[in-house]
Chains A and B, each alone.
Chain A
Amino acid sequence: MLLPYVLVGAALFVLGLVGFVTRRNLIVMFLCTELMFQGIIVNLVAFGRYPLRGEPTLDGQIFSMFLLVVAASEAALGLALVVLLYRNKGTLDANAWTTLKDATA
């Protein structure tokens, strides 16, 4: 049955989204993107296992595997950037990095 898995995947994705928008710690924000990846993995595999029409295939699982690679690259690069930003300003607060923002806003 497709529906329960897709709903749990959607809930995980939304929780990650809420966390990414509301938390101010750069590391926690990156953790929340990983949370969204988890929701997407559940969704992909569920749609591969219970397709709306046709036979079940492995495509969802293969796509999840590529997603794992992208997630690992993202974590490596993102955390390297976090370390660099921390060395520059000594804080992990996302609000400390608003130099690109319009000064009048």
Chain B
Amino acid sequence: MSGSALILSAAVLLGAVGVYLAMPGSRLSLGRAALVLLLGAGAIMVGSVTRMLEANQQVWFALFAALGLWGAVRVVTHRRPVYSALYFILVVVAVTGMLVMMHAEFLAAAVLTIYAGAILVTYVFVIMLAQQGGDSAYDAHAREPLWGCLTGFLLLAVIANSLMEPATGSAAGAIELPASAAGTVQNVGISLLTTYVVGIELTGVLLLAAMVGAIAIARRRAGEDTAGEVD
């Protein structure tokens, strides 16, 4: 095991303990300790990983990675669903920044519009519909946080270690981007309407089916068995 893999494993371990401590209703409710652990884990991970990038990308990558990971931790650990949804917007913004760094400009705009503009609004509406009162008991207590963190971060440790193997590491150097593979509207549009045109058609069918299904499900009255009787 190389030195950088060891450092990353330590960061993953720190992060696992931090997320476990930050979970709502964990037996050791140490908010301050969890914060310190999470900040340490994030700093180690982002710092060790950022050094591999080219110099002109390091600052932005560190910023977006830190923002995204912090937002993700808050989505998972916040007691109130509305704040989880708002922190998720932070994750979307950070991911969008990374997509722009990888020259996927159109996809970045699409992700920001669809996630922050459409999907999150739906979530916030459902939260308003379904959860008026303040804190509820099931938000204040996580279900099996120890085992959940253990399994999840074990997976992350395995991924990180296998990524750090020399074969993968040396194969992934700096690669020049040809103009035909930049994510501009022109390139993406040509690709979507020639190579992937069947996929586009199927996508339309899927969206229509989802829309009809959502309307049919949501109009059903409570306690009613059949979906009919809509006027």
A residues at B contact (CB < 8 Å): 1-8, 10-12, 14-19, 21-25, 27-28, 30-32, 34-35, 38, 41-42, 45-46, 48-53, 55-58, 61-62, 64-66, 68-77, 79-84, 86-88, 91-95
**B3 part of interface (Cβ distance < 8 Å):** no
**B36 part of interface (Cβ distance < 8 Å):** no
Residues of B within 8 A of A83 (CB): 126, 129-130, 218
Residue of A nearest to B124 (CB): A27
With A3-B169, A56-B175, A56-B177 known as contacts, the answer to whether A66 contacts B203 (CB < 8 A) is yes
Residues of A within 8 A of B68 (CB): 8, 12, 38
A-B CB proximity, top 10 nearest: A73-B210, A19-B76, A18-B152, A2-B172, A93-B138, A22-B148, A21-B148, A87-B222, A80-B217, A80-B214
- 16 A-B pairs whose Cβ atoms sit less than 8 Å apart in the complex: A1-B174, A11-B15, A11-B69, A15-B72, A21-B144, A21-B148, A27-B85, A27-B126, A45-B107, A52-B168, A52-B171, A56-B178, A57-B181, A79-B214, A87-B222, A88-B222
B217 and A10: CB pair below 8 A? no
B155 and A14: CB pair below 8 A? yes
B210 and A76: CB pair below 8 A? yes
Query: Number of B residues contacting the other chain (C-beta, 8 Å)?
Result: 99
B residues at A contact (CB < 8 Å): 8, 15, 19, 23, 45, 49-50, 52-54, 61, 65, 68-69, 72-73, 75-76, 81, 84-85, 88, 91-92, 95, 98-99, 102-104, 106-107, 110-111, 114-115, 118-119, 122-123, 126-127, 129-131, 136-139, 141-145, 147-149, 151-153, 155-156, 159-160, 163-164, 168-169, 171-175, 177-178, 181, 183, 187-188, 191-192, 195-196, 199, 203, 206-207, 209-211, 213-215, 217-218, 220-223
Instruction: Determine the distance from Cα of A49 to Cα of B53 in the docked complex, in whole angstroms.
Output: 14
B107 and A1: CB pair below 8 A? no
B81 and A27: CB pair below 8 A? yes
A4 and B52: CB pair below 8 A? yes
Instruction: Determine the distance from Cα of A14 to Cα of B209 in the docked complex, in whole angstroms.
Output: 30
B160 and A15: CB pair below 8 A? no
Residue of B nearest to A51 (CB): B175
Instruction: Determine the distance from Cα of A32 to Cα of B217 in the docked complex, in whole angstroms.
Output: 22
A55 to chain B: closest CB distance in Å?
A: 6
